Chain A
């Protein structure tokens, strides 16, 4: 007795991985954004609590986690624009190029964020 369904081979192409990334990043944003807004709201409610949190958050581990979030957000943003263009503009055959451009954009945003997080650029 074995399970038959093993659809992974049919998914090994850029557009499917772009879809998977879009879903993962979308769901991550859903979880992260409320937390983000909650923390920001402390600037109004209890600035000292916010300061304590920011001091706690000033570690490499948190910065790396933030970078991953920023990359996921940039990927969701660029990928979302790509999907909207795919759906609302006439079809282009260079979909793989657009996926590469969106990925490049997300990575570039991540690198800029990392540089400013660790390089002390304000």
Chain B
């Protein structure tokens, strides 16, 4: 017997896919399926999905790994908003008795709640969101970077991203133009542009200074509103816009 559960049950609506994504339809039609799930103390949305999969339908597909907000694999659309399911307690999102859980928006559905993150990470690669060390620095005379220096703090504010794609799913510009690199990749590039150890911050800036990069951001701030790490991609992208503007001015004179 489970002495942890009270009498209450939650009505849970889960999105079931009827087909996987195709090239021209990322999120094909499907249907909502409803279950009653016993309420427990400190239950998370991920616990609810797992309970249904273990007790009601082993065929339900979803994904998670760490269960503690570190790996970024468990994000889904909960009550209409993208969230980490492992760190979202039922009590913080259920007002009444109903819970809806769907796959992340803007990503191809593999099956049910599992989306394919490949396009999201492909865009990081496209944005050049990868640290390139400065090989010319003499290892002997290399000056240490002080953690509390202004430059380091500027690079640090945006650095704690775990690549969960919550911001990517929240971003309307991603939904509206397929080539838009998205908040997470651009946010990462902003850390590199500010990193003193980078070989060529300017190259990073150039890679995202176009229409598929920072120029397309409309500053909705849905990304910043929903990032579970409380990062602010909008602020990072504004920084990229500012610096690419200055770069363009410098290039012209």
Contact = CB atoms under 8 A, between A and B. Distances in A.
A31 to B, nearest CB: 21
Contacts of B81: 9-10
B50 to A, nearest CB: 22
Interface stretch (B25-33, B58-66, B179-187): B25-33
Interface string B208-242: 00000000001111100110000010110011011
Main secondary structure of the interface of A (DSSP, over half): helix
Interface residues of B, number: 33
A86 B245 CA distance: 14
A2 B32 CA distance: 8
A15 B79 contact: no
Given A2-B31, A15-B225, A83 B245 contact: no
Interface residues of A, number: 21
B15 A4 contact: yes
A95 B29 CA distance: 37
A11 interface: yes
B80 interface: yes
B17 to A, nearest CB: 9
A88 B220 CA distance: 16
B238 A10 contact: no
A88 B239 CA distance: 8
A8 B82 CA distance: 11
A11 B173 CA distance: 12
Contacts of B29: 1-4
B218 A19 contact: yes
B219 A10 contact: no
B159 interface: no
B30 A4 contact: yes
B199 interface: no
A16 interface: yes
B27 to A, nearest CB: 5
A15 B220 contact: yes
Given A91-B232, A91-B239, A10 B27 contact: no
Interface in A84-118: 86-88, 91, 95
Interface in A1-37: 1-11, 13, 15-16, 19
B242 A88 contact: yes
Contacts of B102: 4
B30 A2 contact: yes
A10 B31 contact: no
Given A4-B103, A10-B80, A10-B170, 7 more contacts: A2-B29, A7-B170, A13-B222, A15-B225, A16-B220, A83-B219, A87-B238
Interface of A: 1-11, 13, 15-16, 19, 83, 86-88, 91, 95
26 contacts: A1-B29, A1-B31, A2-B29, A2-B30, A2-B31, A4-B103, A7-B175, A8-B80, A9-B79, A9-B80, A9-B81, A10-B81, A10-B170, A10-B222, A11-B222, A13-B221, A13-B222, A15-B221, A16-B220, A16-B222, A19-B220, A86-B234, A87-B219, A87-B238, A88-B245, A91-B232
